[in-house]
Amino acid sequence: MAIVNAMEKIVEIKTEEFLENIDCCKCEQCLENIKCIALNNLPAKYVSSSKGELFSRLGQIMIKQNTVDIDVAVMNAINIVKEHPRHNK
Ligand SMILES: [Zn+2]
């Protein structure tokens, strides 16, 4: 059994979803920055999980619940990284 933060998975899914329609850099560094900023503004949701698959499904289920706060946090994070990308060019 492992303890995982389900919020990480939710933020990952949300970030990918939003970025499909947003003109923002999608390099690894920027994606990580977006997830870090969003996660720092959201409460952790720890769950015990023996399988990665369960972890993934849990993320999907939680997304269908009240996720306005998560949407806002991810959108803010994307805007911050979009305006101030930290990647090396
Ligand atoms: Zn980038």
Q: What is the pLDDT of residues 53-87, one digit of tens each?
A: 666 666 666 666 667 889 999 999 999 999 999 89
Structural domain contains residue 88: no
Separation of CA 60 and ligand 1 centre (Å): 26
Mean pLDDT of 11-19: 93
**Ligand 1: distance of its center to the CA of 73 in Å?**
19
Query: How close is the Cα of 77 to the center of ligand 1, in Å?
Result: 13
Comparing CA positions, the residue from 19, 6, 18 lying closest to residue 59 is 6
- Between CA 70 and CA 89, with CA 76 as vertex, the angle to 5 degrees is 125
Q: What is the CA radius of gyration of the chain?
A: 13
pTM score, whole prediction: 0.82
Which are the contacts of 89, defined by CB distance < 8 A and separation ≥ 6?
none
Q: Is residue 9 domain-resident?
A: yes
Inter-residue contact 16 to 35 (CB < 8 Å): no
Residue 64: the pLDDT is: 62
Report the separation in Å between the CA atom of 79 and the middle of ligand 1, taken as the mean of its atom positions.
13
Q: Which domain holds residue 39?
A: 2-83
| Number of domains into which the chain is organized | 1
